[in-house]
Each structure stands twice: as structure tokens, then as C-alpha cells.
A and B are shown apart, each in its own frame.
Chain A
Amino acid sequence: MLNSNLYGNQMTVKDLMEALDLTLFNSETSLDREIKGGYVSDLLSDVMGFAKEGEVWVTLQTHKNVAAIASLKELACVIIVKGGKFDDDTLRHAEEEGIPMLGTKLETFEIVGKIYQLLNAKP
């Protein structure tokens, strides 16, 4: 089967969560979404302009516009870094839109390095 991402491995949001011990802040929906790549930015205007469908978005922004933009761009999921917490209305909005909202204690550099490795790991 042909991979739909540019990387070596097929992964779902659930695979990523389990591999990296990510916290899930909302219900277990849409966890079967495939991760097609990633985008890292804290400028929401930049994400609006350049993130692509199916990507995992790593950020430290917590504002409710994060959920709106993740939904608009059809991103696979959002990961907040450094043990951060999304605002309550961000989680409410993400719940309505069915976007998995995840968290890690790691800093952006570390978590992104791990995601990149997972997507590119040789079998």
C-alpha cells in the first residue's frame, strides 16, 4: 500500500499518542486520523497560510482560535508543549469540531524531533 505522507511510516493520531505518551484533553474521537506530516508555529496567521491537511500541529498557543484554525485547515491533531493547558473554550470548540487536543511535558524541539523520527523510522 502506498503511503499518503512524504515520510516512511504510516501513523494515526492514536499511534502517536501511545508512542510519545501524550495526554488527551478531549474525548477519544478522530484518533484514527492519519498523520500526514507536521507543522510547528505559534503564529496562527502562519498556520492558516501554510499548514496542510492531515498535519500534526505543535504549538504553545492556547487560545480558542487554535481550535478554529485546526478545524479550518483539517489538521490531524494539535499538541501543546511544555505541560501547557489549552483555554477552556479552546477545548470546547475542539470537541465540537472533533479535533484531538494533545499535550506533552516536552519542549517543542524535543517532541518534534521524536515525531519526525517516528514518521521516518526504518522498519
Chain B
Amino acid sequence: MTPGNIIEQARIKGLDIVGITDHNSTLHGELTSYYSTQRDVFVLCGAEVTTKEEVHCLAFFENFSKLKIFQSYIDKNLPDIPNSPDFFGDQVQIDKDLNIIYEEPRLLTSALNVNIEEVVLKVHELDGIFIPAHIDKSKNSILSQLGFIPFDLQYEALELSKFGDVDKIKKEHPYLQNCTFLRSSDAHFLEDIGTSFSIFEMETRSFEEIKMALKQQNNRKVILV
């Protein structure tokens, strides 16, 4: 998976929007955006952060300067546990010519030293989008880690995994009746891109429009397929 072939695959699968969310890293957002403009795919840049409670959450930002601020927040709060490349793989950042320009020495699957509420605050301070990830999963989801979603938690939407059953979740958690749900592929391999997707009804592809759709504002909405 490289930024270039992710976008190529998205184009082949007919995706209009892709979210780029490496574990606790935003570093490939900018390069992926560079390829996306050539291929007419809209890229939402962000990260899949692991909170102190080991809840996986998606965070997206409107521009590279905000993305960069969030990256320093991650860097500040990522524990000093070294990566074992043989076991977890290489954590490298590449450039347009596929040269390695950076290697993250700390293990990116670690949990940050901040709780979920602190992460929400930071994301919203930067006008970002906050989405608890794959909430139906029995591992690393807000429901597995916290038992229920804290009633005062501020989020734009909740993400379901490929087979997540929204009716079952709403039945078990009636307080989620009016939330926005979206489903995405959580692709970790090229061939998984586009295997799950959601439909966004909105005027045009922009960060603000996507945010409105997630918040069900001004007749924008997200439709689960």
C-alpha cells in the first residue's frame, strides 16, 4: 500500500471520497492528497488514534496545518515503546519517488497517554471530525472498551465495520437512535479498499459538506449500504 496505489485503487473502485487514517499517524495524508487531485478522488486526511482506554477513533482535519498540529499532539502523547519491525512491520514514511524519508521508532499501535474525552477536545479545538471506529467490534471499540458510549461524548458519527448490524446496536443501545452511522472498509490491504462504503448526500465534496452530512444538517445525510 502506497499513497499512489491507494488512490489508483479508489479510482478503480469508483470511490469519490477516501479517508486516510494510519494508526496514530497523519504523515501520509499530504502525499495521498497530492495523488488524489490528479485522479479526482477527495481525500479526508486524519488518523486512527488509540486512546488511553484502547478505543480506536477516527479524526479528520480540514487542512495540512491543522493536521500538523494534531500530529504534534500525537507525538507528544505517544508512549516511548519502541517498534519491533520484524513483528509489527516497518513504520516508514515515503515521498513521491518512493524514497523512505522518515521512520517512526515508537510503536504506532500503542495507546496514547490521553483519554477519549481529551482527544475529542483536541480534535474539536482544531474544527476536526471525530468518529469512534468500528464500534461493533469486540476489540478496541468504544463499546468493547467502555461498555457504553458516555452520554456526554461529542462525536460527529459512529463507524461500523463491514458486518456491523446497525439495528442490533440501536436495540442494545437505545440512546444511539438518532446518531449518524457510517460504514467503511477499514482497508489494511489494497484489495480491501471499497469492499464497504457509505453514501454521502451533499452539494459538493468538501470537508465542510462532509461534516454537515455527518451532523445531518441542511438536508445533508449519510446513507448506510
Contacts and interface: CB of A to CB of B under 8 A. Distances in A.
Task: Tell me if chain B binds chain A.
Answer: yes
B148 A62 contact: no
Interface stretch (A40-48, A96-104, A108-116): A40-48
B82 interface: no
A18 B144 CA distance: 33
Interface string A32-60: 00000000001111111000000000000
Interface stretch (A4-12, A19-27, A63-71): A63-71
Interface string B64-88: 0000000000000000000000000
Given A61-B53, A63-B53, A48 B147 contact: yes
Contacts of A69: 147
A78 B53 CA distance: 16
Interface in B84-115: 115
Given A62-B52, A63-B53, A44 B115 contact: no
Contacts of A47: 147
Interface residues on A, range: 10 to 19
B145 to A, nearest CB: 6
Contacts of A107: none
Contact of A62 (B115, B143, B144): B115
A65 B147 contact: yes
A69 to B, nearest CB: 5
B145 A45 contact: yes
A46 B53 CA distance: 14
A46 B54 CA distance: 14
A47 B145 CA distance: 10
Contact of A45 (B52, B54, B116, B147): B147
A28 interface: no
Given A45-B145, A63-B116, 5 more contacts: A42-B54, A45-B147, A61-B145, A62-B115, A65-B146
Interface of B: 52-54, 115-116, 138, 143-148, 150
Interface of A: 42-48, 61-65, 68-69, 87
List of 7 A-B pairs having minimum Cβ-Cβ separation, nearest first:
A44-B147, A48-B147, A65-B146, A45-B147, A45-B144, A44-B146, A63-B53
5 contacts: A43-B145, A45-B147, A47-B147, A62-B115, A65-B148
